[in-house]
Amino acid sequence: MTNDKRDTSHFNRRSLLGAALMGIAAAQFGGIGSAAAQAAKVGKQLPAIKRGTHTSFKPLKQINAGDLSVAYAEDGPANGPVVLLLHGWPYDIYSYVDVAPLLASAGYRVIIPYLRGYGGTRFLSDTTVRNGQPAALATDIVAFMDALRIEKAVVGGYDWGGRTADILAAIWPERVKALVAVSGYLIGSQEGNRMPLPPKAELEWWYQFYFTTERGRLGYDKYRHDFAKLIWKLASPKWNFDDATYDRSAKAFENPDHVAITIHNYRWRLELAQGEAKYDELEKRLAQGPVISVPTITMEGDANGAPHPDPKAYAKKFSGKYEHHTVNGGIGHNLPQEAPREFAQAIIDADAMAR
């Protein structure tokens, strides 16, 4: 693959310019100077790695948790501090195939579950609603942590996984030691989604509108391999991934519930599909836009082709120690897979911020 040169200057900025740059960051984001000034701790520096260096995980594990039997990858020492990594749509655990060994080598126990509707994760009952609403995904992860007897973890994610990580940090801060969230604050609500966007912004959500139709459901079911590959290309226009890289992840979309979960998620956002009553109270809390207080690093690639918010728009949603990292060099939406060293370093640095 090409395009492996990346700007990692955000690591050196903190060590070389120190407090002066913290002042610049405060001015840039507005009102977060005191939080940013506390975030000067830097974790162990990781070695460089070329993306695509690793192509497999150790044998996957399986555990019953809540409504699911969850398939997950694990790496690192069993007694190490836990890092929980959450993937997005339409991606899978291979977004972290290079991240996991980096963190494992630094002494972390790295756990990467398949979300509901992906890979080897299955519903325990045929009668359970195939629900893709955000509250359901977040509740799955709490149940997963409970099943593994994980009291607290550093949590990282992007896309659906980033939103899920945000929800965990906002609603269950006692379970989240620190947070790394690609594209920042992604908690939303049905009410918030009623607001129309400018035409160009609406165009970026074409697939969401496609999924509201029966034609869209049938089309995604029939062409899910090619559909998801198109999303990859649009979301990461400068990432020249090869077929082998994509096909490793595409196997996860063969899950029998993948289409149902995907369609329900996007229809729910537009109030075209009902959620479950058991999540109503949680959704009410999320609709209020709760502030995240745990130590957080948000990240963005400089070539993210998917819809994403401006970092300055969400900085004030993080009330604790906080930093934002922009990763340059043509990095798109799937940041952990496209820039594994930078993402893994952010995990370590966020952990250091929590000490």
- Is position 119 within any domain? yes
Give the pLDDT confidence of 217-258 residue by residue, as tens digits.
999 999 999 999 999 999 999 999 999 999 999 999 999 999
- Is position 349 within any domain? yes
- Is position 3 within any domain? no
Give the pLDDT confidence of 35-59 residue by residue, as tens digits.
443 444 567 899 999 999 999 999 9
> What does the block give as tokens for 140?
């799955």
Give the percent of the chain with pLDDT over 70.
88
Full domain range(s) for residue 128: 9-353
For the cut 60, the answer to whether the pLDDT of residue 99 exceeds it is yes
Angle between helices 258-269 and 214-222 (to 10 degrees): 150
Give the pLDDT confidence of 104-125 residue by residue, as tens digits.
999 999 999 999 999 999 999 9
- Is position 87 within any domain? yes
Q: Tell whether the torsion through CA atoms of 19, 22, 26 and 31 is positive or negative.
A: negative
Nearest in space to 144 (alpha carbons), one of 84, 219, 232, 234: 84
For the cut 60, the answer to whether the pLDDT of residue 189 exceeds it is yes
- Is position 300 within any domain? yes
- Is position 2 within any domain? no
For the cut 80, the answer to whether the pLDDT of residue 281 exceeds it is yes
The number of distinct structural domains making up the chain is: 1
Q: Give the other-Cβ count within 10 Å of 337's Cβ.
A: 27
For the cut 80, the answer to whether the pLDDT of residue 30 exceeds it is no
The rounded mean pLDDT for the chain is: 91
For the chain, report the end-to-end CA distance as a whole number of angstroms: 38
- Is position 172 within any domain? yes
CATH number of the domain within which 81 lies: 3.40.50.1820
Give the global pTM.
Answer: 0.89
Rg (CA), the chain: 19
